[in-house]
Chain A
Amino acid sequence: MAEHLILKNGLVFDPMNGIEGEVMDICISDGKIVEKVTESAKTIDLKAHVVMAGGVDPHSHIIGSKLNVARVTAPEVNRHSPYPATKKTRSGVAGIIPSSYATGFLYTTMGYTTVVEPALPATKALGSWEEIDDIPGLDIGLLPLFCNSMISFKYIQDKDISGLAAYIAWTLKKVGGLGVKVVNPGGTYAWAYGKNVCGLDDEVPEWDVTPRTIMTGLAQAVQELGLPHQMHFHPNNLGKPGNVHTTMQQLDAIKRVKPSGKKKKVVHLTHMAFDCLGVVEEGMANWKDVASGGLIFADYYNKNKHFTTDLGQITFGQSMTMTGDGPFQHSLYLLTGGKAKWSNIPVDVELPGGAGIVPFTFEPKSPANSVQWVGSLEFALSIKDLWRFFLSTDHPNGGPFLKYPLLISWLMSKKQRDLWLEKVHKFAVERSTIANIDREYSLNDIAITTRAAPAKILGMEKTKGHLGVGADADIAVYGFNPEKTDLAKNPELILKYFTQTQFTLKGGVQVSKNGVISKQIHSRVHTIHPELNDELSQRIDRELEDMMSRWFSHSFSNYPVPARYREHLEIPRVIDSTSIQA
């Protein structure tokens, strides 16, 4: 490994530092980007190549038991996509749900270097750490779920935000989490009773809590702890036509939460393609009358600055829907006429109703799928501030992450959109304004929405998402010259260049070249360790010990992930949360 390296003459796109396609040299020393290096440093000439920071994906399901259930119940999605071993690298499968090694390699060759698993049942965290040991080449974060846990409900019912914050702090530290995930608050719990919730003030069985008190309570606790990443939010009513209105109501409710730090964002609304469906005028809230909610939501986004969002774009073809939203997955199964393979996984008291998994194929000729496809594109092409937004397919829900280049091509090329509008159902045009939108994302816009903005949204902007001094030397080099290549006119080139980098560097090490993995390295896991004051810390230990002994299978002392599974991977970041009163 070259300790020192200079990348010379590349065309650099680094929007966080205001650099848009300038020819620059980048110096690397000990895995970091530095001001300058010694003359003896190894030099790579990148003349006529595009250079960006490594891609950052804050929402991709790559770890956990839900993936294994999907792989086991649907081996056919991987059967035709073998990923052979080489002398240096392990084998696997690379279909819709790639195996662990292949997941790391495929992200690497696409130029992504940071990926966050957005749904971790904390009680199963040990298994996730073991799995990460077999996912090479990435910086990884885990977002534990807190939204349907009886422990959260107890604190929310008692209006005890300090207790709730302490429970979050304890869990992030003990199992190694990066932030807080909320999925259908109250709804997945109600699913243990065969029910769901839909209104903000609906009752949750057995508890004096509502979706409103759960989502605002958790968002408030995240702010009081001062976590770098705001509450990561999958709303109620996911996948229901007309839900753009209830989603906006929920975001309005969360708007009342006071930001504690400099960052004014209190919530990240994830996979908006599934949360922002409209209906035609005077239509009913059903799939027959579904219309794009993209424009309505873009208007709301442009006017309200308290939240960030990502696409969750559907990409057509085979996908695998998996969420912590058990009742939604059941309704999707019913939508297939009870034919689909429906799986449900309840998890002790943290997710009693259960996560769900249903294989699903999005058809271009389906009116409903076409409208959902167009809605999120319409949104992405209508918003002003790209810094509160990133690209995703909610892998593998909207489609596998391998479809990112296709998504990029829809955003960068009007020509590509027009080609696809011919393939899909006519409702895509009739029930949206897409045909009239001429906007095309620039390379700089792509750099914002695949690196810089997601790094900021995660609160990792010091070391990720840019190429300034002090950043980690995670770098993607693309093999084309934008001055000579008109990507918008040649969308097939977008697919070609963004599917495979010329080089990917991870921590200054060249990990892939032209789609071939050159080095298999261990991933690292970024975690947040909020420090509480002694009084609160003692209180939470006492209370959790009691609740866990009553409710969990794990005892209080067996719940944490042991150091031996973590220490070789973990990069903990300690934050000061001692001001929260016991």
Chain B
Amino acid sequence: VKGNTVTLEKAIERATEIIASSKRLLIYGLSSTENDAQREAYRLAELAGGVVDNTTSVCHGPTILGAQESGEVTASLAETRHRADLVIYWGANPAAAHPRHIPHYIRQPGEYIKDPKADRQIWLVDVRETTTARMVDRFLKISSASDLEVIETLRALIRGTKLDVTEVGGINIKELEEIAATMMTTRYGVLFFGLGLTQSWGRHRNIDAAIRLIQDLNAYTKWGLMPMRGHYNVSGANKTSTWVTGYPYAIDFARGYPRFSPGEYTAVDMLARGEADALLNIAADPVAHFPRAAVAHLARIPVINIDPKFNMTSRLAEVNIPAAIAGIECDGAATRMDGLPLYLKKVIDPPEGVIPDRDILRMVIKSLEKVMK
């Protein structure tokens, strides 16, 4: 608390005071912790009448908005390994961001892909030549901010429309025609996309278009798509939030029931508008990742930070509570980016006095319930 080492009980006491005296509490993060901690966070948000948001709002939020427009035709990683003969990355750099992904699922043989080098094509679409570009069979460099145009062009070509242009997004129309034809005749295709598609010009419209592209292709052959999620359990954060509250992120409990409004109850917007008067951050690092206006407001309000490590947010937080690391120092469940639930085993004991996020949150809830009585 305020840079001094205190007992866990003292830290919980101060955290409870901050929460109890706040009028517009924001709970944020949750994507690098296990599901039980997330579920406790929703309970706390409901009790305090606050807002709860996870890191989705700054990464694949547009993916979810795109899915609200069009649905989502997803894929699974094991199926990709066994069946996919064409894998496309779009605005994603797995070589840097998901280093185990390609060696583990894409360059592995599967039941119906015996020789991944010969039987599976890997393509990359990006605006610059990234490290992944060197690993793939084909790299398509498109001009910046042209993703939506390129996707819609492919959709038009797949529907048999003749386009009176010579190039789109820096790619010759003849090449785009050939790409569309290959996508229609492949046996099983998977499109992986990253923040290059979600957070660039067009945002959720890019994703909407990509989903529609994949839906169109399913009239001819089999295709699925999958976002390359970042934090290890951000998929779990969406999942637990959705079953408990009905919505995946950006939820306000001020009226005693959950309401969903991205742009309004999303963390960056809440802070940049100066609306939140206290932050409880769990398993994320907003100070490192948020825009300046949001961080500036964070410096003005009390911050409680629960994290196993000392991060940028710790420097600014009034209360820092260290937590056990799920999958190492405590058990828990998480969700892989294709929706598969995984059990995380405990390997070693946490340092003395350090407990899991879920237990810290339960202590806060208990003491808040006492205060509110």
Show the binding face of A for B, using Cβ within 8 Å: 65, 67-69, 71-75, 78-79, 82-85, 90-93, 95, 97-101, 123-127, 130-131, 133-134, 150, 191-194, 206, 330, 333-334, 338, 340-349, 352-354, 357-358, 550-554, 558, 561-562, 564-565
Q: Is the CB of B72 within 8 A of A348?
A: no
- Beta-carbon contact of B74 and A344 below 8 Å: yes
Chain B residue at minimum C-beta to C-beta distance from A82:
B257
CA distance A532 to B217 in the complex (A): 46
B 111-158 contacts with A by CB, 8 A: 111-112
Contact B239 A341 (CB under 8 A): no
Q: How far is the CA of A321 from the CA of B255 in the complex (A)?
A: 31
Q: Is B291 an interface residue (CB 8 A)?
A: no
B67–A554 CB distance below 8 A: no
Question: Is B341 an interface residue, CB under 8 A from the partner?
Answer: yes
Instruction: Name the contact of B339 in the complex, choosing from A65, A82, A99, A133 (C-beta under 8 A).
Output: A65
Report which of B82, B219, B244 forms a contact with A92, defined as CB distance below 8 A.
B244
Indicate if the CB atoms of B339 and A73 lie closer than 8 Å.
no
- In the complex, A93→B284 CA distance in Å? 27
Q: Which residues of B contact A565 (CB under 8 A)?
A: 333
> How many angstroms from the CA of A334 to the CA of B70 in the assembled complex?
13
Chain B residues in 8 Å Cβ range of A65: 239, 339
Report if B242 contacts A (CB, 8 A). Answer: yes
Instruction: Give the distance in Å from the alpha carbon of A344 to the alpha carbon of B225 in the complex.
Output: 10
Q: Which of B71, B253, B341, B343 contacts A342 (CB 8 A)?
A: B71
Assembled-state Cα–Cα distance A164/B80 (Å): 26
A343 to B214, CA, bound (A): 11
Q: Can you list 24 A-B contacts with CB-CB less than 8 angstroms, sorted by A residue number?
A: A69-B72, A72-B67, A72-B242, A73-B67, A78-B246, A82-B258, A90-B244, A92-B258, A93-B245, A97-B246, A124-B339, A124-B341, A127-B341, A133-B39, A150-B111, A193-B222, A338-B216, A341-B68, A343-B72, A346-B74, A550-B111, A553-B340, A558-B342, A562-B331
| 8 Å CB contact of A553 from B75, B331, B336 | B336
B187 at the interface (CB under 8 A from A): yes
Of B243, B244, B257, the residue contacting A67 (CB under 8 A) is: B243
Secondary structure at chain B's binding surface: helix, strand, loop or mixed?
mixed
A-chain residues with CB within 8 Å of residue B339 when the two chains form the complex: 65, 124, 345
Task: Give the residues in chain B near A558, CB-CB below 8 Å.
Answer: 342-343
Instruction: Looking at the assembled complex, report how far the CB atom of B98 sits from the nearest CB atom of chain A, in whole angstroms.
Output: 15
Contact A562 B67 (CB under 8 A): no
Interchain nearest-CB distance for A351 vs B (Å): 9
A99 to B342, Cβ gap below 8 A?
no
The answer, yes or no, to whether B178 is at the interface (CB within 8 Å) is no
- State whether B71 touches A193 (Cβ < 8 A): no
Residue of B nearest to A342 (CB): B71
Q: Give Cα A85–Cα B45 distance, bound, in whole angstroms.
A: 12
A72 and B238 form a contact (CB under 8 A): yes
Evaluate contact between A127 and B248: CB separation under 8 angstroms. Answer: no
Q: Which residue of B lies closest to A341 (CB)?
A: B71
- Bound: A206/B111 CA distance, A: 11
CB neighbours (8 Å) of B67 from chain A are 72-73, 341, 343
Given contacts A124-B339, A349-B82, contact A341 B70 (CB under 8 A): yes
Residues of A within 8 A of B220 (CB): 194
Q: Are B253 and A91 in contact (CB under 8 A)?
A: yes
Which residue of B69, B72, B240, B257 is within 8 Å of A84 (Cβ)?
A: B257
Q: Which listed residue, B46, B71, B78, touches A91 by the CB 8 Å rule? A: B46
Q: Which residue of A lies closest to B243 (CB)?
A: A100
Residue of A whose beta carbon sits closest to that of B218: A330
Q: Chain A contacts of B112 at CB under 8 A?
A: 206
Q: Please report the C-alpha to C-alpha distance between residue A174 and residue B39 in the assembled complex, in whole angstroms.
A: 24
Complex Cα–Cα for A192 and B19 (A): 50
Q: Could you say which residues of chain A place their CB within 8 Å of the CB of B240? A: 130
Q: Which among A126, A134, A347 is the interface contact of B76 at CB below 8 angstroms?
A: A347
Q: Which residue of B lies closest to A352 (CB)?
A: B79
CB distance from A136 to the nearest CB of B (A): 12
A345 proximity list for chain B (CB < 8 A): 74, 76, 339
| Interchain CB contact (< 8 A) of A130 among B35, B246, B255 | B35
Query: Please, which residues of chain A bring their CB within 8 A of the CB of B79?
Result: 192, 346, 348-349, 352
Looking at the assembled complex, report how far the CB atom of B143 sits from the nearest CB atom of chain A, in whole angstroms.
29
Which one of B83, B243, B246, B340 has the highest number of Cβ atoms from chain A below 10 Å of its Cβ? B246
Complex Cα spacing A558 to B79, Å: 18
A551-B71 in contact (CB<8A): no
Q: A258 to B68, alpha carbons, bound, how many Å?
A: 48
Q: Which residues of B contact A353 (CB under 8 A)?
A: 222
A95 to B244: give the CA distance in the assembly, Å: 14
Nearest chain B CB to A579's CB is how many angstroms away? 34
The answer to whether residues A551 and B341 also contact, given A93-B257, A101-B244 and a CB cut-off of 8 A, is no
Are B258 and A91 in touch, CB under 8 angstroms?
yes
| B111 nearest CB across to chain A (Å) | 6
Which residues in A have their C-beta under 8 angstroms from that of B106?
none
CA distance A98 to B244 in the complex (A): 9
Q: Does B77 contact A (CB under 8 A)?
A: yes
Q: Is B43 part of the contact surface with A, judged by Cβ < 8 Å?
A: yes
Most chain B C-beta atoms within 10 Å of own C-beta, residue among A133, A330, A345: A345
- Least Cβ–Cβ distance between B198 and chain A, in angstroms: 15
Chain B positions 244-263 with a Cβ under 8 Å from a chain A Cβ = 244-248, 253, 255-260
- Write out the residue numbers on chain B whose beta carbons fall within 8 Å of the beta carbon of A85: 46, 253, 256-257
Interface string of B76-120 (1 = CB under 8 A from A): 111100110000000000000000000000000001100000000
- Nearest-neighbour CB distance to chain A for B59, whole angstroms, equals 15
| Contact B75–A346 (Cβ < 8 Å) | yes
A123 to B238, CA, bound (A): 19
A95 CA to B258 CA in the complex, in Å? Answer: 13
A90: chain B residues within 8 A (beta carbon): 43, 46, 244
CA distance A338 to B73 in the complex (A): 13
B71 and A346 contact, CB distance less than 8 A? no
Assess the B246–A344 pair: CB atoms within 8 A.
Answer: no
Instruction: Tell me the smallest distance from the CB of B367 to a CB of chain A, in Å.
Output: 17
Q: Is B64 an interface residue (CB 8 A)?
A: yes
Q: Please give me the 7 A-B residue pairs with the lowest Cβ-Cβ distance, nearest first.
A: A341-B71, A93-B246, A82-B257, A127-B341, A126-B341, A343-B71, A99-B246
Asked if A91 contacts B69 (CB within 8 A), the reply is no
Say whether B194 faces chain A, with CB atoms less than 8 Å apart: no
Answer whether residue B215 sits at the interface, using C-beta atoms and an 8 A cutoff.
Answer: yes
B78 touches A553 (CB 8 A): yes
Return the contact of B72 from the options A73, A82, A333 (Cβ within 8 A): A73
Cα distance, A110 to B246, chains bound together (Å): 21
Contact A126-B221, Cβ < 8 Å, known A91-B257, A206-B112: no
Determine the chain A residues whose CB is within 8 A of the CB of B46 once the complex forms.
85, 90-91
Extra inter-chain contacts (6) besides given A91-B253, A349-B78, CB under 8 Å: A73-B71, A99-B246, A127-B239, A127-B333, A348-B76, A354-B224
Which chain B residues lie closer than 8 Å to A123 at the CB level?
A: 340
State the CA gap A266–B117 with chains docked (Å): 48
- Is B265 at the interface (CB under 8 A from chain A)? no
Q: Given the known A-B contacts A206-B112, A341-B70, A349-B82, are A71 and B242 also in contact in the complex, defined by CB atoms under 8 Å? A: yes
CB-defined interface of B205-216 with A at 8 Å, one 1/0 digit per residue? Answer: 000000000011
On chain B, the residues within 8 Å of A130 by CB distance are: 35-36, 39, 240, 333, 341
